[in-house]
Amino acid sequence: MNWLPLTDLSQLDAIDAASAERPVLLFKHSTRCSISTAALHRMESAWTSGDDSTHSAYYLDLLRHRDVSNAIAERYEVEHASPQVLVIRNGRCVHTTSHLGITYRDVLSVLTGS
């Protein structure tokens, strides 16, 4: 999976702009949490090179970049969770899920609109 690192608040404006063209995936990960590691592994093991060519996927290490995680919760009006997946379309969060609810199939369905 070709993750784009999400490390700076200014990237949120770029993500919103890009989401006008196609939905953007955000994955908030806690490196200290085994559930987060399992969810990350599930996404990475199912994601294909074709997915990389058609979808943008951002990875946030929320322990290192808590300010960005907080800004995401505020900007997209979602309650913070870890791990957490958000799909952004037209600058708005259209899907969010966390913990064991994170599945490749569900995320891909939202990204593709099917």
| Total-model pTM | 0.95
* Helix spans in 9-93 (H): 11-18, 34-46, 49-54, 66-75
What average pLDDT does the structure give for the chain? Answer: 96
Which amino acid is residue 95, in one-letter code?
H
pLDDT tens digits, one per residue of 35-61: 999 999 999 999 999 999 999 999 999
How much is the average pLDDT of 21-42? 96
Whether 114 has a pLDDT exceeding 90, the answer reads: no
CB 83 within 8 A of CB 27: yes
For residues 29 and 13, what is the distance between their CA atoms, to the nearest angstrom? 20
pLDDT tens digits, one per residue of 83-98: 999 999 999 999 999 9
The CATH topology of domain 4-112 is: Glutaredoxin (3.40.30)
Residues whose CB falls within 8 Å of the CB of residue 74, separated by 6 or more in sequence, listed in order: none
Percent of the chain with pLDDT over 70: 99
**pLDDT of 27:** 98
**Helical pair 104-112 and 34-46, crossing angle rounded to 10 deg:** 60
Whether 68 has a pLDDT exceeding 90, the answer reads: yes
For residues 99 and 30, what is the distance between their CA atoms, to the nearest angstrom? 11
Whether 11 has a pLDDT exceeding 80, the answer reads: yes
Domain boundaries of the chain, sorted by first residue: 4-112
Residue among 18, 5, 12, 6 nearest 75 (CA) = 12
